[in-house]
């Protein structure tokens, strides 16, 4: 019988990465660059999120929410159940971001009221990600967009504990694996494959930015993905690679970067060496 999953409260108290300000702001820059391309907001068009109502779902200590506010959001919100993280966020950024302690399955917004939602590397931590996705769909405007950073169960190195093939294992074996390396008492996270993530986004219209970001990291504030000369050579190879060959690798890409909408939309940004591709959903 599997261990019952409960909400991860006070996540920032035991996951130091949530307090790594430089890293969180780099992630925010990538998120905003992807949104800028999808929305067709060039540098001369003014702030990327100018006049929009924006919320970071799973904001923790608030660095990404703060960057969303700086990108021109008219109203910026940070939502989490991490009370210590929210306290830190409100102390630093509360003048331009409204931080609210709320569960993702009961967001404190009216139907169709949000223009942009960010859900970045959160789904594997929540008890019922499908319910959170349904709730985000409820509050998203018909012409709104949802940014998703989604870990892949078939990524070889598990991102939290840096152990190979950890996310492939059933829960009992995964618990033994993390304990044997002294990383944790048990393995809490639950990742899904690309197929499972597509089903989770059923009813959304989704565009995949994973390969565009890998092939054009300088455009998407992801230069740290390819450091050094070897990294630049790898980037150039990705930019020139046949699209069919890259698509064949998608099932094992460690992280998917998707932009979803309730109604059909297309990316409005300029052409890229590897353009975003639509993701079929049920």
Q: Which token pair is 101?
A: 């302690």
Helix 63-70 × helix 83-93 angle, to 10° = 30
The β-bridge relationship of strands 53-57 and 75-80 is: parallel
Q: What pLDDT was estimated at residue 12?
A: 65
The predicted pLDDT at position 57 comes to 98
Which domains occur in the chain, in start order?
11-153+191-211+252-279 (3.40.50.150), 162-187 (no CATH)
Q: What is the pLDDT of residue 1?
A: 41
More confident residue, 245 or 280: 280
Q: What is the pLDDT of residue 231?
A: 57
- Output the CA–CA distances (angstroms, integers) from residue 163 to 134, 157, 169, 178, in the order listed: 32, 6, 11, 8
Band (142; pLDDT cuts 50, 70, 90):
very high
Average pLDDT over residues 80-106: 95
Which region, left, alpha or beta, applies to residue 63 given φ > 0 means left and ψ of -120 to 50 means alpha?
A: alpha
pLDDT tens-digit map of 233-260: 666 676 677 777 777 888 888 999 999 9
- Cα-trace Rg, the chain: 18
């Amino acid at each position: 019988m599997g261990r019952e999953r409960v909400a991860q409260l006070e996540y920032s108290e035991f996951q130091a990465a949530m307090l790594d300000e430089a890293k969180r702001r780099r992630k925010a820059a990538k998120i905003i660059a992807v949104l800028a391309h999808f929305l067709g907001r060039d540098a001369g068009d003014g702030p990327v999120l100018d006049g929009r109502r924006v919320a970071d779902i799973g904001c923790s200590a608030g660095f990404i929410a703060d960057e969303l506010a700086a990108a021109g959001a008219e109203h910026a919100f940070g939502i989490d159940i991490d009370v210590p993280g929210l306290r830190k966020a409100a102390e630093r950024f509360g003048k331009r971001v409204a931080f609210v302690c709320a569960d993702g399955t009961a967001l404190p917004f009216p139907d169709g009221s949000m223009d942009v939602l960010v859900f970045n590397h959160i789904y594997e931590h929540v008890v019922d990600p499908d319910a959170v996705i349904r709730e985000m769909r409820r509050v998203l405007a018909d012409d709104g967009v949802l940014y998703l950073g989604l870990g892949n169960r078939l990524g070889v190195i598990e991102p939290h504990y840096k152990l190979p093939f950890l996310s492939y294992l059933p829960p009992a074996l995964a618990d033994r694996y993390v304990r044997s390396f002294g990383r944790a008492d048990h393995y809490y996270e639950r990742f899904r494959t690309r197929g499972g993530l597509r089903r989770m986004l059923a009813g959304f219209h989704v565009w995949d930015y994973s390969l565009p970001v890998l092939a054009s990291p300088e455009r998407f504030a992801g230069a740290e993905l390819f450091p050094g000369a070897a990294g630049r050579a790898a980037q150039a190879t990705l930019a020139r690679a046949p699209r069919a060959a890259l698509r064949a690798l998608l099932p094992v890409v460690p992280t998917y970067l998707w932009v979803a909408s309730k109604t059909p939309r297309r990316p409005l940004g300029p052409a890229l060496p590897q353009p975003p591709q639509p993701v079929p959903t049920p």
